[in-house]
Amino acid sequence: MSTVMDGGLTHLDMLRQQPCPKLLNDHRDLVGTFSEANAWIQEVWTPLIISAGLHSIGQVVSPDIFGQLSIEDLQHRISDQLDIYLFDSLPTAQSWLRAQ
């Protein structure tokens, strides 16, 4: 969980320095779950990142079933706050983000 938190807070700092309303998150190499971090992402990170200007997340999904289940749970938790869409391929996610 600390890796997720550290990465999330680093991205928040970067977004505050260089505002950008879109995030491409690529989990193709992710193996395993991060479900234990989803409550923190929902309750802490998401409100902070929205206040920093993020509106849309294009999420490339892991081929690992546990990674898929984790991101589907997260999408369910935060989709009322952010546009978050899941994709099987990087080019499709990139195209969607460009259209936002």
Q: What is the pLDDT of residue 1?
A: 79
CA-CA-CA-CA torsion for 62, 66, 71, 74, nearest 10 degrees?
-170
Count of structural domains within the chain: 1
Indicate the pTM of the whole model: 0.91
Query: 19-40 pLDDT, tens per residue?
Result: 999 999 999 999 999 999 999 9
CA separation (Å) from 13 to 17, 50, 58, 87, 92?
6, 13, 19, 26, 27
Residue 16 clears pLDDT 90, i.e. is over it: yes
* Domain of residue 82, residue span: 2-99
Q: What is the pLDDT of residue 11?
A: 92
| Confidence category of residue 99, pLDDT binned at 50, 70, 90 | very high
* In contact, 89 and 55? CB cutoff 8 Å: no
